[in-house]
Amino acid sequence: MSQTVKLRLEDLDIKPYIISKLKLAGIDSVFDLVISIPHQLTDVGGGALTGTDERFALELVTKAKTALVDSGLLYKDFSTAQDILDRRKNLLRCTTGSPKLDSFLKGGIETQAITEIAGEFGSGKSQICYALCVTANMPLDRKGLGGNVIFIDTENTFRSERIFQIAEHRGISVPDEILRRIYVCKIYNTSHLEMIIQVLGKSIESTRLNLLLLTASLHFTGPVEKNWQNGSSGSTSCCTN
């Protein structure tokens, strides 16, 4: 899918005063508008489009979605099976650093997908995340993704020194370069997590993300389930671009 086209709200057939209202509410791009929920846009007193009806908000969201589809930045609602097969031929797989786990995953963590790793505490989920922080930043010819990583830490267990060790073990000459390409967000409570998820699109765009890692315990299943299916005791969601 093309990533070269840049669309702005001003490129849509939307009146300037509506665009101003959207931006005041933190909706700065066409992508932000696409993922907005129409009825929340019109909520009295707190919505970006207070004073309008839900149908109007839905028209704006639909207009933004159509623009992204026409530009090749978003898939159509309905695609042929052949189209889906052609897209899957272009998928990449990021090594986990473990040949056996890569074999189980048929080559590694698949791009354009969500991979969930669930298990009891202490079963190694975080270690896989640390390894992926390194391998995702490796070049494509080394089975990496060649890009940046966002790590959302709900348990306050992120350890930079562990990633440094893994980078050294994998022969990275300058481990500090890997650390500078990992963006960590520590979550303090469920409300904070919900807020971060709502603005995640902007962070993905600004960091040119290739891999998103989210570690979650049972305490965070509520907000996480709105965006990712969660495990019983603890889980890690790996979302790749």
- What pTM was computed for the model? 0.76
15 and 117 housed in the same domain: no
Place 107 in a pLDDT band, splitting at 50, 70 and 90: very high
pLDDT at site 236: 63
> At 73, is the pLDDT very low, low, confident or very high (cuts 50, 70, 90)?
confident
Least confident of 68-77, 141-150, 166-175, 209-218: 209-218
Give yes or no: residues 153 and 40 share one domain. no
- The answer as to whether 227 is a domain residue is yes
Confirm whether 2 is domain-assigned: no
Per the CB < 8 A criterion, the answer to whether 219 and 187 are in contact is no
Residue pair 143/135 in contact (Cβ under 8 Å)? The answer is yes
pLDDT mean across residues, the chain? 83
- In this structure, the answer to whether residues 163 and 222 fall within a common structural domain is yes
Q: How far apart are CA 69 and CA 184, in angstroms?
A: 31
Domain encompassing residue 36: 9-70
Q: Which residues pair with 59 in a beta bridge?
A: none
Final residue belonging to a domain, choices 41, 70, 99: 70
Answer yes or no: do 219 and 112 share one domain.
yes
Is the domain of 208 the same as that of 101?
Answer: yes
Confidence of residue 145 (pLDDT cuts 50, 70, 90): very high
The b-or-e profile of 26-42 (16+ CB within 10 A means b, else e) is: ebbbbbbbbebebeebb
Question: Does 169 share its domain with 59?
Answer: no
As a whole number, mean pLDDT of residues 92-101 equals 94
Query: Is 56 domain-assigned?
Result: yes
Residue with tokens 């505490």: 121
| pLDDT score, position 198 | 77
**Do 64 and 124 belong to one domain?**
no
Does some domain include residue 167? yes
Structure confidence at residue 41 as a pLDDT band (50, 70, 90)? confident
**Domain match, 129 and 42 both:** no
Buried/exposed code over 166-186 (b: 16+ C-beta within 10 A; e: otherwise): bbeebebeebeebbebbbebe
CATH number, domain of 236, equals 3.40.50.300
If one compares 224 and 21, the residue with the highest pLDDT of the two is: 21
In-domain check, residue 157:
yes
SS3 content of the chain, % helix, strand, coil (to 5): 45, 15, 40
If asked whether residues 124 and 54 sit together in one domain, one would say no
Asked whether residue 201 is assigned to any structural domain, the reply reads yes
**CATH value at residue 22:** 1.10.150.20
In a domain, 77, yes or no: no
Domain total of the chain: 2
**pLDDT above 50 for 106:** yes
The reply to whether 81 falls in a domain is: no
Whether residue 51 sits in one domain with residue 113: no
Q: How confident is the model at residue 165 (pLDDT cuts 50, 70, 90)?
A: very high
> In this structure, are 127 and 211 located in the same domain?
yes
Q: Collapse the DSSP code of 115 into the 3-class scheme (helix H, G, I; strand E, B; otherwise coil) and give the result.
A: strand
Same domain, 107 and 36: no
When pLDDT is averaged across residues 135-154 and rounded to a whole number, the result is 93
Mean of pLDDT values over 94-101: 94
Angstrom distances, CA of residue 29 to CA of 25, 43, 103, 173: 11, 20, 40, 38
